Amino acid sequence: MNAAARCPEPNEAEAPFESSAHDVATVPGVGRVRVTPVQRSPFSLRLKLKMRLWSAVQATLFRWSPTPLRAFRRGLLSLFGARIANTASVHNTARIDCPWNLEMAPRASVGEHAWIYALDRIVIGEEACVGQRVVLLTGSHDYANPCFPLVTRPITVGYGCWIAVGAMVLPGVTVGALAVVGAGSVVTRDVPEQMVCGGNPCRVLKRREFHAEERRASPGPSA
């Protein structure tokens, strides 16, 4: 087998792996390639236990908490390492993975059934609104590597952004201050400040303009 396309043998890997005829494929121009199943976890035992404990808390205390008990949910997230302002809001139906990588500024919000997949750092800025069923996805895999390693990159949602229902933000993206991401968009690259964007892939549609009275009323981000 081509050495460049080699993954660890079963006894070299952290987790047990049973070989079969389906584990090796012949690829034109490459040769025989042995791939690693995506189910192999790259996480340490300690981190796995921490994830399991948080999953249990989220599925019970967090999920069962009445919607108005935002402070209670903030407290649970903070216990697991989230840096979350005391005016931030996370809905009880939202899914937060790895809250120790989450930071939420004052009056930031995460809506119903949103998925915050924080394998890497996620920062949600002041006054930013992450809408219903939005996915912030910091983890992926290097599909060009037969070992299929986990790849993570941070996500930043800037001041006053609105990410509308059902949008997906992919690893490494920064959504600029005051930007709007339209419903159902797939954001694969940075979104410029104060732009309305949408589509799959997401692209700039127009500038976000404010009425004069709204510009005067806006306090701007905190110092």
pLDDT (tens, 9 = 90+) of the chain, 223 residues, equals 344 444 554 444 444 434 444 566 666 776 676 766 666 677 888 999 999 999 999 999 999 999 999 999 999 999 999 999 999 999 999 999 999 999 999 999 999 999 999 999 999 999 999 999 999 999 998 888 877 888 999 999 999 999 999 999 999 999 999 999 999 999 999 999 999 999 999 999 999 998 876 655 556 676 5
What pLDDT score does 21 carry? 47
CA distance 23 to 35: 6
What pLDDT score does 215 carry? 57
pLDDT tens digits, one per residue of 80-103: 999 999 999 999 999 999 999 999
The closest of 84, 125, 79, 75 to 102, measured between CA atoms, is 84
**Residue 82: count of CB within 10 angstroms of its CB:** 23
CA distance 140 to 156: 17
What pLDDT score does 37 carry? 63
What pLDDT score does 222 carry? 67
What pLDDT score does 17 carry? 39
The structure's pTM equals 0.82
Contacts (Cβ under 8 Å, ≥6 apart) of 134: 110, 111, 114, 115, 163, 164, 165, 166, 167, 168, 169
The closest of 61, 220, 207 to 125, measured between CA atoms, is 220
What pLDDT score does 19 carry? 43
The closest of 203, 95, 208, 199 to 161, measured between CA atoms, is 208
- Domains of the chain by range and CATH? 1-40 (no CATH), 50-207 (2.160.10.10)
